[in-house]
Structure 1
Amino acid sequence: MRKIDPFLSALICSVLLASFLPCKGNVTTVLEYVTDACIMVMFFMQGIKLERRAILENMRNWKLQGLVMACTFLMFPVLGLGLHAMLPGLLDSHTWLGILFLCCLPSTVQSSIALTSLANGNVAASICAATLSNIAGIFITPVLVSVVLHTQGVWSAQAVIDIAVQLLLPFVAGQLLQPLLHKWAHRNKKIISITDRSSILLVVYTAFSHAVVEGIWAHLSLKEMGALVLIDCSLLGLVLCITLVLGKALGFPSKDEVSLILCGSKKSLASGVPMANVLFPATTAGFVILPLILYHQIQLFVCTLIARHYHTKHSSDV
């Protein structure tokens, strides 16, 4: 039986702590400055870790790479808008905002690569797809959020400045310093991983504290939480089915099919939480990230089962 992910436990504890002991007053102001600094450090480290070489070496498989990008930044928003159009009253407006924001995010990096490896899939192609998705997401996601949500508030002059200062500039700096710091980052990847996860937990706590003060649990009943889980599961299920059908219809080898399914269906918590903190007001960010937190756990569980299925299949083919 698989052990519970410690990060999942810590994430749940952050939400519970914010629910019972939300930060207020001057503490909130201090934490907002700290979280801004943490977000900058996170994207600086992403710039160091994401290798351009991995993209260039695998761009020849343009059909697979293009399809993963289309699933991530086109199919997901279309499905999200479709579900919202069919079931507008199933969730309140804030929660639907979170679902649509989730649909605009890039794919994950670490879990996509790890699960592709577990499934004996095309690991090199997954590295390329996940890396390209995250680099593109820094530019595409804010614009896509503005288009999908039909609001100018998200793509305001202040939002552009915040994105440039907190996300883009640190990432570019990391990319420029990658030749000097990549080996150091590789040697200290466990420390960096702990730092990244701690930063995410702090951002989640701060954002949820705002949401609790604004009355998130008064707005969201157990029935609505169940509906949110249902929407997240439906979204993931639709994407998994579509990517499977597309992979077979286009005649992808089984290893490429794995990369398409596991990279095309994922959404990044590591990118989504800080982006929500930058793109949305503090009073809204906590509502927005709740669907992402739930989707993150559902995708890990379901995609691990899929990876194990492909692992057994590929092992029997040898």
Structure 2
Amino acid sequence: MNRLLARLNIDPFLLMLLGTVALATVLPAQGVWARVAGGVADAGIALLFFLHGAKLSREAILDGAKAWKLHLTVGATTFLLFPIIGLGVRAIPGIEPSLATGVLFLTLLPSTVQSSIAFTAIAGGNVAAAVVSASFSNLAGIFITPLLTALFITGRSHGFSTDPIIDISVQLLLPFLAGHFLRPWIGGFVTRNKKVLGYVDRSSILLVVYTAFGAAVLEGLWHKVTVGELALIAAISLGVLAVVMVVSSFVGKAMGFSREDRIVLLFCGSKKSLATGVPLAGVLFPAAQVGAIILPLMFFHQIQLMVCAVLARRFAAAEEKAASSSQT
């Protein structure tokens, strides 16, 4: 089964997400169980960020921090180019308002960490720089995403408030810093048990998705969203990704980056983090809105993995072909 999914470029985690959405649709948590599930989900997210902090290597930061022009360009792509596109998409008529907001919200999120680094490595890019760019983007997103959300979404109707930033600092940043502070003592354990601890990441996200979609279903989510609108969201996600990748490729060449650094810009600059986006949405939006808000992010998550997997293999094949040609 795993081989078939890999051949089709389908992330098994996507199937888990779809199963969680189905469960929340049929059996949403209500009453006291909703509060219990929400509390467990919050604890899981705090643990997730604690582990991310423990996994972040200071040596990798120092090795990759030298390419500051590259990191600034990745940051501009993530937090400037993407939001501009998101604002344009929101202006398209015919999209259900909460889904349009979800598309804009996903463009305000930071980059992924694991997949950005993995695809950069497969494609033969600058892995050390990818570690720094992706990690910095994820950490900066804890502050930048709430500010952009207040500016473009919630602030439009509720006014600016520092409460979301305070909540995020307590729920996400403090566990992250605690994990990184304790890295000298627990870093080895985290590294040795990377596969097992990976289940913590996914379980935490699934719990948040379950509680979010359960609340949205109780508010009539599936009566508001049509199949046609879901297809439109998928098409928009593919279009947004294509525009960002084309612009990133052009900018990388225009700035004279090496092939290895252009690969970092392409893969780190074009991604949006589901692992960070789901808990941030839970803090920034009312519970009944979170399900619809993260729906476009779930589409974009799978599309970016499929497209980047194909591109990474092509980069790797091209590098192998160039290496073999130089030897003959």
The question of a shared fold, defined as TM-score above 0.5 by the shorter chain, is answered with yes
CA separation of 1:47 and 1:154: change in aligned 2, threshold 3 A? farther
Structure 2 length-normalised TM: 0.93
SS of the residue corresponding to residue 204 of structure 1 reads helix
CA drift of 1:157 comes to: 4.6
C-alpha distance in 1 between matches for 2:244 and 2:180: 31
**1:205-224, CA deviations, whole angstroms, 9 ceiling, x for partnerless residues?**
11001111111111110111
1:166 corresponds to which of 122, 146, 171: 171
Between the two proteins, what is the percent identity of the paired residues? 48
CA drift of 1:53 comes to: 3.1
CA drift of 1:25 comes to: 1.6
CA separation of 1:84 and 1:245: change in aligned 2, threshold 3 A? same
C-alpha distance in 2 between matches for 1:186 and 1:170: 18
- Alignment-derived partner of residue 117 in structure 2: 113
C-alpha distance in 1 between matches for 2:168 and 2:156: 17
- Alignment-derived partner of residue 143 in structure 2: 139
Answer yes or no: is 1:199 the counterpart of 2:204: yes
CA drift of 1:55 comes to: 2.4
SS of the residue corresponding to residue 75 of structure 1 reads helix
**1:80-120, CA deviations, whole angstroms, 9 ceiling, x for partnerless residues?**
112223x1x23111111111110111101111111111111
SS of the residue corresponding to residue 151 of structure 1 reads helix
- What is the one-letter code of the residue matched to 1:39? I
C-alpha distance in 1 between matches for 2:142 and 2:237: 23
Contact 1:18-1:205 within 8 A present in 2 as well: yes
Answer yes or no: is 1:53 the counterpart of 2:39: no
What 5-or-longer segments of structure 2 have no aligned partner? 324-328
What 5-or-longer segments of structure 1 have no aligned partner? none
- Alignment-derived partner of residue 42 in structure 1: 48
Aligned length: 316
C-alpha distance in 2 between matches for 1:40 and 1:316: 45
**1:182-235, CA deviations, whole angstroms, 9 ceiling, x for partnerless residues?**
111101111110111011111111100111111111111011111111111111
C-alpha distance in 1 between matches for 2:97 and 2:157: 17
Structure 1 length-normalised TM: 0.95
C-alpha distance in 2 between matches for 1:32 and 1:132: 28
CA root-mean-square deviation = 1.5
C-alpha distance in 2 between matches for 1:152 and 1:107: 27
Contact 1:77-1:148 within 8 A present in 2 as well: no
CA separation of 1:225 and 1:43: change in aligned 2, threshold 3 A? same
CA separation of 1:48 and 1:266: change in aligned 2, threshold 3 A? same
